[in-house]
Amino acid sequence: MSKPKLVMVGNGMAGVRTLEELFKIAPEMYDVTVFGAEPHPNYNRILLSPVLAGEMKVQDIILNDHDWYRDNGVNLHLGKKVAKIDRVKRQVIAEDGTVEPYDRLLLATGSTPFMLPIPGNNLDGVIGYRDIADTDAMIEAAKRYKHAVVIGGGLLGLEAANGLKLRGMDVTVVHIGPWLLERQLDEVAGRMLQKSLEDRGLTFLLEKHTEALIAGESGRVAAIRFKDGMQIPAELVVMAAGIRPNTALAESSGIYCNRGIVVNDTLQTYDPKVYAVGECVAHRGIAYGLVAPLFEQAKVCANHLANYGIGRYTGSVTSTKLKVTGIDLFSAGDYMGGKDTEEIILNDAAGGVYKKLVIKDNKLVGGVLYGDTADGPWYFQLLKDGKDIHEIRDQLLFGQSMVGDVGHQGQSKAAAMSDDAEVCGCNGVKKGVIVKAIKEKGLFTLDEVKKHTKAASSCGSCAGLCEQILASTLGGAYQATASDKKPMCGCTDHSHEDVRKAIRERELTSVEAVTKFMEWKNADGCEKCRPALNYYLISTWPHLAKDDPQSRFINERAHANIQKDGTYSVVPRMWGGLTTPAELRAIADAAEKYKVPTVKVTGGQRIDLLGVKKDDLPKMWADLAAAGMVSGHAYGKSIRTVKTCVGAEHCRFGTQKSMDMGVKLEKMLFGMWSPHKVKLAVSGCPRNCAEAGIKDVGVIGVDSGYEIYVAGNGGIKTEVAEFLCKVASDEEVMEVSGAFLQLYREEGWYLERTCHYVQRVGLDYVKQKIVEDGEGRKALYARLLDSLKGIKDPWAERLDGELKKEFEMLAVQPA
């Protein structure tokens, strides 16, 4: 029996969110077809301004990639604009002639920018600001032209102006109102915002009425003229004077529209077979242009498409935030106040902080925050819930952490929030949902919270609060997500990427040289930055930089893992998991001699001696070295183990010699330090007994060679490795694996696992560097081998007393 057909016109955030909600509750109900006029899959339109500003790339804002559509069985038509809806035949017809029948139709056609009806509005160089094409056009214009004018001092206009300024243009913002964001801010906050933006180099012309756009000799816009006769140069004009619901298609098909496609509380149009969501919709006379209401609509619409019939959309209370880095503002509700309202105001002009709360009948009905918006979500929740604030009125202005008993004071905003407080207004995600996901799914990073809860995945303004929730939930286990904009630590304002770049470009070869050149606040560094600096130095200049033992963690200095009782764990290396009677005898002798209480076989096919006293470490390692054994580096940010199955050497199912391959890889990588621990595995056949699918590099033998997988992680949150490529020979396995690990060593941030590195840069980027660029791959592999060539092969000869000297030093060093 065939499924009913659901066709969606529009591939934006509201429509695709509806499909996501539908797939959660009725994944097999419809055959789904989607038409998108743009050539891109669903992306986060809210984050176009960071793309324009150069803070993000287009790939960073993709919400649902092509794989998502494929995995959910969606028939996707990109770059196809729908020209007609035949409601009698129930068909959708695209401009290229594509015809799709429907049983249910979902209209998510969004909105279009309002182009001022003035002479010259169709000149080359005059654009709206709604999509990736507009953003690309502005980026290209910034490379060729100097003067830009943005018409409109609303949210979108200011974000466009800031982005163009960061791209190097002289930008003037023309606004018809008396102050900026007059629909979101009162005059005081609006003036403070203007001052902040003027300090960034923007120019403002307020209460100006545009009369015409003037063409230059080339036919491109060259100037803008106002009704008072004033004229200024303009080689790029961005119309950001508002949006209009895109109702043309609906109207042409006879669907009732009035300032939008009119829908009821189930998001159904006057045609019961046709639903509509998003900016194209008029619900109870209101068309919403913010994402939070659109996602609320999506959830209700999906409920009815699934025939549940229990959801109702009754309208939304909205709040506003500006996406201009370094400027914090928030407004919600009746922020202007008026009759029968009270206002509580804090105005610190010198400090750049302004807070205004509007109260009516002992309830918060509106507010404006500028400069300090941390309590915005809490105020918004009080407003939405209509809570009586009589008892906390005196402390209300000072935020949530100051409300209640003394025990609450001094807590982070996140710790003081209740579980039912809304954190992400865009997606309606409450604190309790985030905390539950963190605990149940083992989340440790902001990216993981975004992936599993949708919080902070839209406008991103609640990202800081989400990180606070991570920190308060995980306690000491929390490590802030590595970011190319975040300082390495409190000793500096520089990021990991800044430091790596300076070390490379300035040829810095010591920790002291880095901290001096980059003007570290604490010249000696700290326990966070010194190990990172030491790694970046020795990985960038392996033959010039001197390894600093005092910048390593105690485990790496002791060549053993410290345990909770203060004793140590010693793991000698067994190449590829293979050993000999002589090695086993040496391990047994050491265990008896030093009275080791526990001997355990590890998950990486090694033997762990647990409970070794610190004073015995140098002597134990000397005894093991005398038997030809070296450290397994089970403590280091380094190559740990290469796990193998018995492979074609012994197994009747084996297709490749996995033990031999594993030994080759481990010997090749011996002595390799890296941003975090690295584990490899080689399986002799697709049965994958060595668990290669959850390793940093996994090699699986097949009839014609090997498949190579990367960026797996079998830790607290399992990440399945991703397929990188297929190769035919052992030599290619070593070259590809080595090149990938060298790329990670050169670009990964300290304490960033390979899975997080690949998530950050993208698998396509890694494939381009390793698979597609053959010369680049060989160069990476050569750099890896060069960095390791000073490490003597411990299989062939001993370390000439180097370990002994190192441990003699260790014996007089504090833990």
pLDDT tens track for 512-558: 999 988 888 877 787 788 899 999 999 999 989 888 877 877 777 77
Q: What percent of the chain has pLDDT over 90?
A: 57
The helix/strand/coil state of 762 is coil
Q: Which residues are annotated as a binding site for [4Fe-4S] cluster?
A: 645, 651, 685, 689
In this structure, the strands spanning 126-127 and 678-683 are unpaired
Residue 611's nearest CA partner among 600, 619, 603 is: 600
* pLDDT tier, 66 (very low <50, low <70, confident <90, very high otherwise): very high
Average pLDDT over residues 208-235: 95
Question: Rounded to whole angstroms, what are the CA distances from 504 to 116, 134, 489, 725?
Answer: 51, 36, 20, 30
Look at residue 327 in the predicted model and tell me its pLDDT. 75
What pLDDT shows up at residue 316?
Answer: 84
Q: Is it the case that residue 74 has pLDDT exceeding 70?
A: yes
pLDDT reading at 408 higher than 50: no
Span 154-181, average pLDDT: 93
- pLDDT higher than 50, residue 180: yes
Task: Name the phi and psi angles at 568, rounded to 5.
Answer: -125, 160
Mean predicted confidence (pLDDT) in 366-387: 84
CA atoms within 13 A on the CB side of 8: 33
Question: Which of the two residues, 424 and 684, has the higher pLDDT score?
Answer: 684
Lowest mean pLDDT among 401-410, 523-532, 539-548, 592-601: 401-410
Collapsed DSSP state (helix, strand, coil) of residue 149: strand
When pLDDT is cut at 50, 70 and 90, the band that residue 120 belongs to is very high
More confidently predicted of 680 and 528: 680
Which pLDDT band, with edges at 50, 70 and 90, does 792 fall under? low
Over residues 68-80, mean pLDDT: 96
- Provide the pLDDT confidence category of residue 732 given band limits of 50, 70 and 90: very high
- Our CA dihedral for 606, 610, 613, 619, rounded to 10 degrees, sits at -30
Q: What angle do CA 505, 506, 511 make, to 5 degrees?
A: 115
Residues making up the binding site: 645, 651, 685, 689
Region 432-450: what's the mean pLDDT? 81
| Mean pLDDT of all residues in 406-430 | 67
Contact assessment for residue 49 and residue 159, using Cβ atoms and an 8 Å cutoff: yes
Average pLDDT over residues 170-198: 91
**The pLDDT value given to residue 674:** 94
pLDDT interval class at 401 (50, 70, 90) = low
Q: Are the C-beta atoms of residues 165 and 53 closer than 8 Å to each other?
A: no
Give pLDDT, residue 706.
96
Q: What is the mean pLDDT of the chain?
A: 87
Q: What does the alpha-carbon distance between residue 35 and residue 108 come to, in Å, rounded to a whole number?
A: 10
Q: Residue 473 — very low, low, confident or very high, per pLDDT cuts 50/70/90?
A: confident
Structure-token pair, residue 293: 């209401």
Residue with token string 């485990």: 555
Average pLDDT over residues 268-280: 96
User: Which is more confident, 319 or 273?
Assistant: 273
Predicted TM-score (pTM) of this structure: 0.55
The mean-pLDDT minimum among 22-31, 104-113, 180-189 falls in: 180-189
pLDDT at 717: 64
Q: Quick one: average pLDDT of 35-49?
A: 93
Task: Quote the pLDDT of residue 460.
Answer: 65
Average the pLDDT over 440-467 and give the result: 77
> 398: which 2 tokens?
């000072």
Residue 362 has pLDDT above 50, yes or no: yes
- Over residues 155-179, the mean pLDDT reads 93
- pLDDT band of residue 276 (cuts 50, 70, 90) is very high
Task: Check residue 338 and give its pLDDT.
Answer: 78
**Considering only 250-259, 415-424, 592-601, 615-624, which range has the smallest mean pLDDT?**
415-424
Q: What percent of the chain has pLDDT over 70?
A: 92
Cα–Cα distance measured from residue 638 to residue 750, given in angstroms and rounded to the nearest whole number: 11
425 within 8 A of 441, measured Cβ to Cβ: no
What is residue 804's predicted lDDT score, i.e. its pLDDT?
Answer: 47
The annotation places the binding site for siroheme at 689
Kindly state the average pLDDT of the residues 243-270.
96
Give yes or no for residue 793 having a pLDDT over 70. Answer: no
Contact indicator for 153, 185 with CB cutoff of 8 Å? no
Q: What pLDDT, on the 0 to 100 scale, is given for residue 693?
A: 92
Coil, strand or helix at 211: strand
Mean pLDDT of 365-370: 90
Q: Is 751's pLDDT higher than 50? A: yes
- The residue among 349 and 347 whose pLDDT is bigger is 347
Least confident of 19-33, 83-97, 424-438, 677-691: 424-438
Q: b/e per residue, 740-774, with b = 16+ CB within 10 A?
A: bbbbbbbbbbbbbbbbbbbbbbeeeebbebbbeee
pLDDT at residue 322 in the model: 67
Q: How confident is the model at residue 39 (pLDDT cuts 50, 70, 90)?
A: very high
Q: Can you give the pLDDT at residue 801?
A: 46
Which of the given ranges, 4-13, 342-351, 712-721, has the highest pLDDT on average?
A: 4-13
Q: What is the dihedral of CA 208, 213, 216, 221, to 10 degrees?
A: 100
| Residue 663 to residue 605: CA distance in whole angstroms | 13
Alpha-carbon distance of 624 to 652, in angstroms, equals 35
622 alpha carbon, distance to own chain's centre: 47
Q: Which two tokens stand for residue 523?
A: 């010249």
Check residues 358 and 482 and name the one with the higher pLDDT: 358
- Domains of the chain plus CATH, in order, are 5-111+245-305 (3.50.50.60), 126-241 (3.50.50.60), 328-408 (3.30.390.30), 412-479 (1.10.10.1100), 496-552 (no CATH), 556-626 (3.90.480.10), 639-788 (3.30.413.10)
Residues 346-370 have a mean pLDDT of 88
pLDDT at 803 over 80: no
Model pLDDT, residue 111: 95
- pLDDT, residue 412, reads 55
